[in-house]
Structure 1
Amino acid sequence: MKSSDIVITGVGMVSSIGVGREAFTKALLNGDSGVRHFDEQATASSEDVVLQYRTENGNLELVGETAVVAGLVDFNAKQFVTPRKALKVMCREIQTAYAASQLAVKDAGLHAYLPAEPAAEPSSQTPCYTESGKIQSHRIGTVFGSELLYGPPLELSDAYADSVDSDGVFDPSEFGNSAMRHITPLWLLKYLPNMPACHYSIVLNAHGPNNSLTVGDVSGAAALIEACGYLHRGIADFLVVSASGTRLNATRASFTEDQPLATVVDPIARTSRPHAVDADGLVRGEGAGGLVLERADTAEARGAKPLARVLGFASRFIGSPAFVSGDRNADIRPDAGRGSAAAIVAAMEGALADAAMEAHQVGAVVGHAAGDPVLDACEREALTQVLPNAAVILPATLLGHTGAASGMMGLLAGCVCLQTKQIPPVPHADLCQSSGGADIEPLNVSDQLRPLESPIVMVITHTSPGHAIAVILTA
């Protein structure tokens, strides 16, 4: 089977610019930003959200009311999760992944065939349905992109307090026993990275392939590649592929703050400015995306119209200088060492080769850049080298940095572009050109909606250690 025999038949979005395909598409094409004042967000509890932002002197400080995030506004997990008691063992990322998956399955028209049922005589041959018209349990699977999941600091506050001796010194040897007394036995289930795929497999009664990939921002794209592998090998007929992430969690920031945060600007909606000459950091975001993958013949047999077709992909890792040296940092100096332009170039060229295509055939490229000037520079160098003329789409402008969901959000933006035959605008396009003495290459961006001249979109995503993935989609 060729990659081009695999199609996307459903998508689901849970984002700061909308929940569901219709809302997401409208906001993306209008350039409506999800970046707002923190107090305008209906996000997680305030004590679990980091309100640090880069100030004029470059320090990270609490700035209270001026903090901005790209959090979810119109999301209520109770509308999606059944049974509702399951919410007790679901952190934010699990809830959003579940919801995005539900939306994708509904969008693909698979509800009539679910939940899956065991086959009297399991077979790898089509048709892949039972006598009652349900999908055979072993022919449907889930592949989710995830990351380390963190709880709010207050969940461990009592256990911590009990571990402080009479002199006010924290004793680590006491923390284990204290935690056993103060933390519910089911606490760990809320934060296992494989639980999003676990919960949704149970809902589907899916007995096919099940995997969770925790490779940072590229997790969603990596999950798509993994799912394509299952379809290529004939061990499944339907794959639900999702990814979720958040950068609003305070505990996470205490351990993994290796990228700079943006200076708040006026208007606040322009605070997330990837590839801008004055970009100095990212905006914290959250969200989840999901899609349904299947073979083209399976989709045709059930009358499903594909949203996009997978033409090719490539995953490459070339360690960044910071990764090689172990110098994890959030500096914005040009030599900070985050990211690998070489890895991005290799992934883009590899995807073109896999799809047997030339660069000039690509109508648009969905960038991963989120406003970190160091990582943005790596992406810009790769774009200039491989796809210098392709129109550039920058979803993080509206969504902020969504962690492990970043790559999936790019894939969903690519599907929107192909379905509408339009290239979404970049509101700060005027700042993505060489100006003010800044030595940067101009990108093919516009603050206006443009037609997609060639129905081929490349989606790129990459990480600060040096992992890059490129996926090519067509209508």
Structure 2
Amino acid sequence: MTSAREVVVTGLGATTPLGGDVASTWEAALAGVSGARTLENDWAEKYGIPVTFAATIKVNPAEVLSRPETKRMDPSAQYAVVATREAWADAGSPEVDGDRLGAVVSSGIGGIQTILDGWDTLRERGARRMLPMTVPMLMPNSPAAYVSLELGARAGTHAQVSACASGAEAVGYAVDMIRSGRADVVVAGGTEAAIHPMPLGAFAASRTLSLRNDDPQRASRPYDVDRDGFVLGEGAAVLVLESAEHAAARGARVYAKVSGVGLSSDAYHITSPDPEGTGQVAAMRFAIQDAGVTPADIVHVNAHATSTKVGDLTETASIRKLFGPDADHVQLSATKSMTGHLLGGAGAIESLFAVKAVSERLAPPTINVDNPDPELQVPLVRDEPYKLPGGDIAAINNSFGFGGHNVALVIQNH
């Protein structure tokens, strides 16, 4: 049953491999720009890592935050705070009682750089040389905590951890907070800062990373027959969610509404999706039912689409299974082809992209698809943005994570 308390998006913020804010990130996405870059370090040679590139953050947070702030925050929290400040300003810096303001900012891995750097310091220089702020920096809830401190959010501060579905689940939880009456405004999103030799080496060992070292910008190629894995990315995205009543009372500008949330789990395998797509279908079905729409109303899907052999086609088969003939008019975008895979931040930036797509009626392109997989079962937006239709439209953002986590969000024009 659809909740009577409508949830709208009034602010957007981001810092990504494509740009240091929403405007530059969205412009680059529409232009089909890749954020993948060759790493300027000796990790490959020093540690035997077979991957020499990643989608690194475009703008160093030190250019935005003060030195004391960067000293006490892990990069994952730095990115979240940068995105939050933009989103809050974009929403008009609303005056809201802190008891009615929530924060839900997730990370799939948390302060991995702090953990690993802290261990190096302990091993090489001893406990006396460790940073006193090490524990609050490494906590997975650290980004959410800093966002709550930034805004004085006291209605609840949460950090869902569901691997690559974390950012989208954060948005879904924020919707529930507003619908249930716990909060009038919730700042929600995801962040990740895991470009470090250990995560790179570990993902490479699992054979999930692309090895196109000679051509990083063309490495992430969802749905192409020659795809060979994802590109590790970093960054954060944050949405300001608000009850429609609260937004209207203060005359806020509204981008779109988040009208449906669907959650499920595969209970199949720790890393591989259920090949039948049962959980993915369920998450999308729940979201569509929650929104009070039908598959015929969905005109766009921002796909999870990481560029792995199995995952990409499982998702499109799931869409076809649920939508049937209605899948023929769904325009599919795989924006990880440009941003890389932000892990816990992926669902947040892709939710933001879905909001922008619905509000501007432009589906961003998928790049690097030179030879589409013949098993692709949904129309794919390639190379150029696709103009979405007028009238009332709806989009889905899919986010799936290791462990079998499935999240689908329905976003509609307002």
TM-score by length of 2: 0.89
Question: What's the CA shift string for 1:395-445, capped at 9, x where partnerless?
Answer: 1000111110011111011011112211112223442242xxxx5546433
Whether 2:231 is the aligned partner of 1:291: answer no
Equivalent-residue separation in structure 2 for 1:289 and 1:402 (angstroms): 10
Rg larger for:
1
Instruction: State the match for 1:190 in structure 2.
Output: 137
Q: Is the 8 A contact 1:375 1:464 kept in 2?
A: no
Correspondences of 1:396-475 after superposition (within 5 Å) = 396-434=336-374, 440-441=376-377, 443-453=379-389, 455-475=393-413
Secondary structure at the counterpart of residue 364 of structure 1: strand
Secondary structure at the counterpart of residue 254 of structure 2: coil
Determine which of 181, 190, 199 is the counterpart of 2:128: 181
Tell me the CA shift for residue 4 of structure 1.
6.7
Correspondences of 1:80-119 after superposition (within 5 Å) = 80=65, 84-110=67-93, 113=94
TM-score by length of 1: 0.79
Tell me the CA shift for residue 266 of structure 1.
6.0
Instruction: State the match for 2:3 in structure 1.
Output: 2
Q: Is the 8 A contact 1:4 1:312 kept in 2?
A: no
277-286 vs 144-153, which deviates more?
144-153
Tell me the CA shift for residue 339 of structure 1.
5.1
Question: What's the CA shift string for 1:174-196, capped at 9, x where partnerless?
Answer: xxxx5x33423321221111111
Secondary structure at the counterpart of residue 241 of structure 1: strand
Equivalent-residue separation in structure 2 for 1:158 and 1:100 (angstroms): 30
Paired letter, 1:38: L
Equivalent-residue separation in structure 1 for 2:202 and 2:37 (angstroms): 25
Q: Is the 8 A contact 1:246 1:404 kept in 2?
A: no
Tell me the CA shift for residue 3 of structure 1.
6.5
Q: Is the 8 A contact 1:429 1:445 kept in 2?
A: no
| Number of aligned residues | 401
Determine which of 149, 152, 157 is the counterpart of 2:120: 157
Secondary structure at the counterpart of residue 461 of structure 1: strand
Task: Extract unaligned runs of 5+ from structure 1.
Answer: 40-45, 53-59, 114-133, 163-177, 329-336
Determine which of 327, 332, 343 is the counterpart of 2:279: 343
Equivalent-residue separation in structure 1 for 2:265 and 2:311 (angstroms): 15
Correspondences of 1:63-462 after superposition (within 5 Å) = 67-80=52-65, 84-110=67-93, 113=94, 134-148=95-109, 149-151=111-113, 153-161=116-124, 178=126, 180-253=127-200, 258=206, 260-264=208-212, 267-320=215-268, 322-323=269-270, 337-338=272-273, 341-387=277-323, 388-389=327-328, 390-434=330-374, 440-441=376-377, 443-453=379-389, 455-462=393-400
Equivalent-residue separation in structure 2 for 1:157 and 1:356 (angstroms): 52
Tell me the CA shift for residue 279 of structure 1.
0.7
The percent of aligned pairs where both chains have the same amino acid is 25
Tell me the CA shift for residue 146 of structure 1.
1.7
CA RMSD of aligned residues (A): 2.4
Equivalent-residue separation in structure 1 for 2:274 and 2:73 (angstroms): 32
Correspondences of 1:34-49 after superposition (within 5 Å) = 34-39=35-40, 46=41
Q: Is the 8 A contact 2:80 2:238 kept in 1?
A: yes
Q: Is the 8 A contact 1:3 1:311 kept in 2?
A: no
Instruction: State the match for 1:126 in structure 2.
Output: none
Q: Is the 8 A contact 1:3 1:312 kept in 2?
A: no
Question: What's the CA shift string for 1:186-218, capped at 9, x where partnerless?
Answer: 212211111111112112122221111111111
Instruction: State the match for 2:16 in structure 1.
Output: 15
